[in-house]
């Protein structure tokens, strides 16, 4: 089966259509699509990824077109796929809630625009159509019905004709107006107003919810769409209320006793006036070139947004022309979804291995058959911890769903259970550390498992790699391979050993030229100027992350002073809890930890005055970064701002000091900054800030 999208031909979880009898294949595809629809809409847990689902639909459509005798009005290709859960009563929509047809690249989009122009010509309209561009929000469609300005009923899409009554749950969603604002001095509202839009969970709310669930040992939601669907379709609306759901309105339905509209953009303006959130990216477009540029921009910058989008929607703006060209049973002819490359794909889980981190934490990870997802080829993905593997019940040999959204590390969502063989067994966490053979321990009440051997070779390696990493001492050229080489040659076994490295000894190592050795020594020397917060972070002290390291550095000012820290003093720092304080004090009072710090001090690490000043120059300021900054990764820009004491957040608000806009900045962030009067800084301004 050829999976559409992005020019990559890949297998899907449904096998391949080759020599199979078309009738048998149609039955197979219809049944898989129906099952997937049930899992997606009723169980809020997808059985096929969107990409596999789209590919199965495309294949089924192609067979039905080639063999008209196999076509059937009951086929899922002619239906909108939802259902009604017995938890909710059913609601008949005032008019059908349709789905959208898809295109997957620019040439398909151009063909669709050509077809649209021809249909309009046939319908008697001349010239090319005025189009409207919107983001395709990845949530779930809902219909809201207002009588005399008051929210009376909310329903899910269901099968398009009949949906689920979710009124009580929707009442808890803050951004959805319960009473319409009305127009003009008389605050006029229509007698009946039905609006449609996408209910979604912001990514920030999704991350917080999953963190909370993971801490409680509950299963994580696979993606924001599932989390939104699961949160809306709760028996108890109080649960929905806690989930931070949001809504973008994209369509006016029935409007009785209100104004007459000629265009879609007029309807959206009106809906904004009535109090509905309308996405700020929605806009009229003048040319195909403009659509191409917008699609390309949002495909690249989709992760700058605090909500998932899975594409763009291009719509005909003129409402009377929409009427003229009408719809098929499933989708309107006047709109098309341009689907972005998938963030989720299925692939085979080859094995589950365990990696040992700098503090001995044993993290299970999946070895995967390489799969192109979220813009890169993924071969490994974290499985977090023992409980998460058990909750997900993924097993070597399974076909699994892999998700990679933007810079986020790839994750295995779960197994495609229909693919599992009868003798597959649950995976067992190993009893012994694979690196040193020491029995693993799992402290009571913790979800993580550890190798307790401080001298475990994996821990020794990772402690030095972490110390040298960009976010800590920023010693370029000291990756895993080079550190392993230094350890093997007996030149280092702890971070402090790096400062005694000798050029001549380095030159004796295989593949080591003078330039390399000189550069490494120069990098190590330069690292002595790093702020002490980075030194503390680099020491791999359990529980001491970026924020705790900065707070401790600010409190003590020097490494020598930090050596005398005690629990009572540390616990008084806002943001340093007992666990952090206890762990830090245990480290500085241990022989090993104290010696490390004393050796670092003796080597001249963390003594530079500028290092200490650097931590506070931007204190109290809050920045948002958008677009590309030349020569610096986003992570680097953020970490350098934080080094100067600034806060970096993902969305612009009135608390934002400035928006730093690099090349191709996110339009929504720039618009929001302009709206709120937040200063917009250029790349040069950023460099000046960091030079403070």
- Give 295 or 659: the residue with its C-beta nearer to ligand IVH: 295
**Count of residues binding ligand IVH (CB under 6 A)?**
15
What the block records as the tokens of 192 is: 């009946």
Residue from 417, 524, 441 nearest 478 by CA: 524
Residue from 79, 32, 21 nearest 56 by CA: 32
Tokens 């009723």, located at residue = 42
The DSSP bridge pattern shows strands 150-156 and 102-103 to be unpaired
Q: Which stretch binds ligand IVH (CB under 6 A): 8-16, 131-139, 499-507, 641-649?
A: 131-139
Q: Give least dist CB 131 to ligand IVH, A.
A: 13
Site track for ligand IVH across 192-211, x = CB under 6 A? ------x-------------
Length of the chain equals 692
147 is catalytic: no
Q: Give least dist CB 137 to ligand IVH, A.
A: 4
Q: Which stretch binds ligand IVH (CB under 6 A): 66-74, 332-340, 355-363, 557-565?
A: 332-340
Q: Give least dist CB 245 to ligand IVH, A.
A: 15
What the block records as the tokens of 498 is: 């790096």
Distances (CA, A) of 250 to 133, 203, 280, 283, 291: 11, 20, 11, 11, 18
When binding is defined by CB under 6 A, the residue of 332, 406, 430, 593 that contacts ligand IVH is 332
Q: Does 268 sit near ligand IVH (CB under 6 A)?
A: no
Q: Which stretch binds ligand IVH (CB under 6 A): 26-34, 331-339, 559-567, 644-652?
A: 331-339
When binding is defined by CB under 6 A, the residue of 14, 26, 84, 100 that contacts ligand IVH is 100
Q: Which stretch binds ligand IVH (CB under 6 A): 15-23, 94-102, 570-578, 581-589?
A: 94-102
Class of residue 661 by CB neighbours under 10 A (exposed 0-12, middle 13-18, buried 19+): buried
When binding is defined by CB under 6 A, the residue of 113, 313, 394, 637 that contacts ligand IVH is 313
Q: Give least dist CB 158 to ligand IVH, A.
A: 11
Q: Give least dist CB 80 to ligand IVH, A.
A: 8
* Backbone φ and ψ of 511, nearest 5°: 55, 35
Q: What stretches of 7-113 adopt beta strand conformation (E)?
A: 90-92, 102-103
Q: Does 98 sit near ligand IVH (CB under 6 A)?
A: yes
- Give 94 or 516: the residue with its C-beta nearer to ligand IVH: 94
Residue from 433, 559, 551 nearest 495 by CA: 559
When binding is defined by CB under 6 A, the residue of 141, 232, 383, 565 that contacts ligand IVH is 141
What the block records as the tokens of 520 is: 């490494």
Q: Does 294 sit near ligand IVH (CB under 6 A)?
A: no
Q: How many CB atoms neighbour CB 223 within 10 A?
A: 24
Query: Could you say which of 11, 79, 136, 392 is catalytic?
Result: 136
Residue from 10, 29, 16, 131 nearest 72 by CA: 29
Q: Give least dist CB 365 to ligand IVH, A.
A: 33
Q: Give least dist CB 537 to ligand IVH, A.
A: 41
When binding is defined by CB under 6 A, the residue of 337, 366, 371, 603 that contacts ligand IVH is 337
Would you say 355 and 458 are in contact if contact means Cβ atoms under 8 Å apart?
A: yes
Q: DSSP letters along 522-553, please?
A: HHHHHGGGS-HHHHHHHT--TT--HHHHHHHH
Q: Give least dist CB 31 to ligand IVH, A.
A: 22
Would you say 356 and 334 are in contact if contact means Cβ atoms under 8 Å apart?
A: no
> Which are the contacts of 672, defined by CB distance < 8 A and separation ≥ 6?
280, 651, 652, 678
Q: Does 57 sit near ligand IVH (CB under 6 A)?
A: no
Q: Which stretch binds ligand IVH (CB under 6 A): 31-39, 45-53, 136-144, 683-691?
A: 136-144
When binding is defined by CB under 6 A, the residue of 11, 79, 93, 136 that contacts ligand IVH is 136
Q: Give least dist CB 450 to ligand IVH, A.
A: 44
Q: Which stretch binds ligand IVH (CB under 6 A): 96-104, 164-172, 382-390, 671-679?
A: 96-104
Q: Which of residues 434-473 bind ligand IVH (CB under 6 A)?
A: none
Q: Give least dist CB 98 to ligand IVH, A.
A: 4
Question: How far is it, in rounded angstroms, from Cα 514 to Cα 402?
Answer: 43
When binding is defined by CB under 6 A, the residue of 335, 461, 625, 646 that contacts ligand IVH is 335
- Maximum C-alpha span of the chain: 87
Q: DSSP letters along 268-337, please?
A: HHHHHHHT----TT-EEE--HHHHHHHHHHHHHHGGGSSS-EEEEEEEE-BHHHHHHH-B-SSSBSSEEE
Using CB atoms, what's the residue nearest to ligand IVH? 141
Distances (CA, A) of 322 to 135, 137, 260, 501: 20, 22, 15, 73
Question: How far is it, in rounded angstroms, from Cα 142 to Cα 194?
Answer: 10
- Residues in a beta bridge with 200: 246
- Residues in a beta bridge with 335: 315
Tokens 């004090």, located at residue = 585
* Backbone φ and ψ of 114, nearest 5°: -60, -45
Q: Does 137 sit near ligand IVH (CB under 6 A)?
A: yes
Calculate the dihedral angle through the C-alpha atoms of 353, 358, 360, 361, rounding to the nearest 10 degrees: -60
- Give 308 or 638: the residue with its C-beta nearer to ligand IVH: 308
Would you say 373 and 345 are in contact if contact means Cβ atoms under 8 Å apart?
A: yes
> Which are the contacts of 621, defined by CB distance < 8 A and separation ≥ 6?
645, 646, 647, 657, 658
Q: Which stretch binds ligand IVH (CB under 6 A): 129-137, 185-193, 350-358, 371-379?
A: 129-137
Ramachandran region, residue 302 (left: φ > 0; alpha: ψ -120 to 50; beta: rest): alpha
- Residues in a beta bridge with 255: 193
Q: Which stretch binds ligand IVH (CB under 6 A): 134-142, 144-152, 168-176, 572-580?
A: 134-142
- Give 231 or 251: the residue with its C-beta nearer to ligand IVH: 251
Q: Does 250 sit near ligand IVH (CB under 6 A)?
A: yes
Cα atoms in the Cβ-side hemisphere of radius 13 Å centred on 572: 6
- Give 244 or 332: the residue with its C-beta nearer to ligand IVH: 332
When binding is defined by CB under 6 A, the residue of 54, 59, 134, 318 that contacts ligand IVH is 134
Angle value at C-alpha 596, between 592 and 602, nearest 5 degrees: 145
Residue from 51, 143, 41, 54 nearest 84 by CA: 41
Q: Does 166 sit near ligand IVH (CB under 6 A)?
A: no
- Give 141 or 349: the residue with its C-beta nearer to ligand IVH: 141
Q: Give least dist CB 224 to ligand IVH, A.
A: 13
* Positions marked catalytic: 136
- Binding interface with ligand IVH (CB under 6 A): 98-100, 134, 136-137, 141, 157, 198, 250-251, 313, 332, 335, 337
């Amino acid at each position: 089966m050829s999976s559409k999208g992005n020019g990559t031909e890949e297998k899907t979880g449904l096998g391949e259509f080759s020599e199979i009898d078309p009738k048998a294949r149609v039955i197979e595809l219809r049944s898989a699509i129906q099952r997937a629809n049930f899992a997606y809409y009723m169980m809020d847990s997808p059985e096929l990824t969107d990409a596999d689902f789209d590919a199965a639909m495309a294949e089924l459509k192609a067979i039905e077109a080639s063999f008209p005798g196999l076509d059937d009005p009951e086929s899922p290709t002619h239906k909108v796929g939802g259902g009604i859960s017995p938890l909710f009563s059913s609601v008949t929509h005032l008019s059908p809630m349709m789905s959208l047809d898809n295109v997957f690249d620019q040439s398909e989009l151009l063909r669709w625009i050509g077809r649209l122009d021809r249909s309009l010509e046939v319908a008697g309209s001349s010239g090319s159509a005025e189009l409207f561009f919107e983001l395709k929000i990845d949530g779930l469609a809902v219909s809201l019905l207002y009588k005399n300005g008051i929210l009376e009923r909310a329903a899910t899409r269901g099968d398009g004709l009949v949906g689920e009554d979710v009124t009580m749950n929707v009442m808890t969603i803050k951004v959805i107006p319960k009473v319409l604002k009305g127009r003009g001095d008389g605050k006029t509202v229509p007698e009946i107003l039905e609006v449609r839009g996408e209910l979604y969970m912001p990514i920030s709310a999704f991350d917080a919810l999953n963190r909370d669930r993971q801490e409680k040992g509950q299963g994580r939601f696979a993606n924001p769409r599932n989390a939104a669907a699961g949160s809306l379709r709760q028996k108890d609306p109080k649960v929905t209320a806690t989930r931070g759901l949001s809504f973008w309105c994209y369509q006016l339905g029935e409007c009785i006793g209100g104004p007459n509209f000629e265009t879609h953009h007029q309807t959206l303006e009106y809906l904004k006036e009535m109090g509905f959130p309308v996405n700020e990216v929605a806009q009229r477009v003048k040319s195909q070139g403009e659509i191409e540029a917008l699609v390309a921009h949002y495909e690249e910058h989709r992760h700058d947004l605090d909500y998932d989008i899975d594409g763009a929607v291009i719509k005909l703006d003129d409402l009377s022309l929409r009427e003229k060209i009408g719809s098929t049973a499933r989708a309107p002819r006047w709109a098309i979804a341009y689907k972005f490359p998938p963030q989720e794909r299925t692939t085979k889980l080859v094995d589950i291995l365990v990696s040992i981190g700098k503090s001995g934490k044993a993290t299970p990870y999946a070895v995967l058959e390489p799969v192109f997802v979220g813009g890169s080829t993924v071969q490994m993905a974290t499985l977090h911890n023992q409980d998460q593997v058990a909750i997900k019940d993924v097993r070597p040999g399974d076909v699994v769903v892999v998700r990679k959204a933007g810079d986020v590390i790839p994750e295995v969502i779960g197994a495609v259970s229909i693919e599992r063989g009868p003798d597959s067994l649950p995976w067992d966490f190993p009893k012994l550390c694979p690196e040193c053979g020491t029995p693993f321990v799992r402290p009571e009440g913790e979800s993580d498992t550890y190798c307790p051997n401080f001298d475990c070779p994996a821990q020794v390696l990772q402690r030095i790699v972490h110390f040298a990493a960009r976010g800590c001492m920023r010693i370029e050229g000291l990756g895993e391979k080079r550190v392993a080489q230094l350890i093997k040659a007996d030149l280092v076994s702890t971070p402090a050993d790096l400062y005694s490295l000798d050029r001549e000894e380095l030159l004796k190592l295989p593949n080591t030229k003078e330039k390399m050795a000189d550069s490494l020594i120069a990098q190590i020397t330069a690292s002595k100027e790093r702020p002490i917060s980075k030194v503390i972070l680099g020491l791999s002290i359990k529980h001491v992350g970026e924020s705790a390291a900065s707070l401790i550095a600010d409190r003590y000012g020097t490494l020598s002073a930090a050596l005398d820290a005690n629990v009572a003093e540390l616990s008084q720092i806002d943001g340093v809890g007992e666990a952090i304080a206890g762990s830090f004090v245990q480290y500085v009072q241990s022989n090993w930890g104290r010696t490390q710090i004393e050796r670092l001090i003796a080597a001249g690490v963390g003594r530079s005055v500028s290092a200490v000043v650097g931590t506070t120059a931007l204190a109290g300021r809050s920045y948002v970064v958008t677009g590309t900054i030349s020569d610096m990764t986003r992570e680097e820009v953020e970490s350098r701002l934080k080094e100067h004491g600034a806060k970096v957040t993902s969305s612009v608000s009135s608390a934002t000091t400035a928006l730093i806009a690099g090349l191709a900045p996110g339009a929504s962030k720039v618009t929001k900054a302009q709206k709120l009067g937040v200063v917009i800084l250029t790349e040069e301004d950023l460099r000046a800030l960091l030079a403070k």
